Every structure is written in structure tokens, then in C-alpha cells.
Amino acid sequence: MIRLFKRVTLRAFDCENWDDMMVEFLLVAKMTGNADGPTFNRSFTNAIQEVYHNGGEIRFGSMGFKRKDGTYHWYYADDQCKDMADFLL
């Protein structure tokens, strides 16, 4: 999933490498109303900002929280998902 986003974004910004693209991407994000900090409902932009400012690598996977009663609430997929096809169901 991340490779797909990277490939499409590199092509859209006509950049050869991810570091150059991040600079361009964040300039456009700022001009379209995305502040320098996290913004609701813009996960990909938030992830790029985090990597640009603090380093690291974007990851893709499940996200959920354990409830007080011991059950889990999954926002994205669940703990059984192992590959990208599982996330697209």
C-alpha cells in the first residue's frame, strides 16, 4: 500500500525521489489549508509531515484499541489481516 502511494505521489509531483517530493507535497498541503501540524482526516499528509519533521518511515497496518472489558475496537482492519488484500475487503 505504501509503495502504491509513493509511486503515485512521485508521479503526481514529477519527482525522482521521496525526499524531494516531501518538500513539494508539504508546500502544496500548506497552501490548501493543511497546517504544519496534524489535521483531521488527512492521514497520509500527517504521515508525510511526521517523517519530514522527525524522520522515520511510514507504515501500513491495523489500528485499534483494547477496551476496559478486554475486547478490541478496530478502526482499520483487525489483528487477522496479513496482507493488503485483507485491508481492501
Q: Can you give the residue ranges of every domain in the chain?
A: 2-54
pLDDT at 85 over 80: no
In the predicted model, what is the mean pLDDT of residues 63-86? 73
> Higher model confidence: residue 22 or residue 83?
22
In the predicted model, what is the mean pLDDT of residues 73-80? 67
pTM of the model: 0.60
Residue 70: the pLDDT is 92
Give buried/exposed letters for 6-42 (b at 16+ CB in 10 A, else e). eeebbeeeebeeeeebbeebbeebeeeebeeeeeeeb
Over residues 8-26, the pLDDT tens digits come to 889 998 989 988 888 888 8
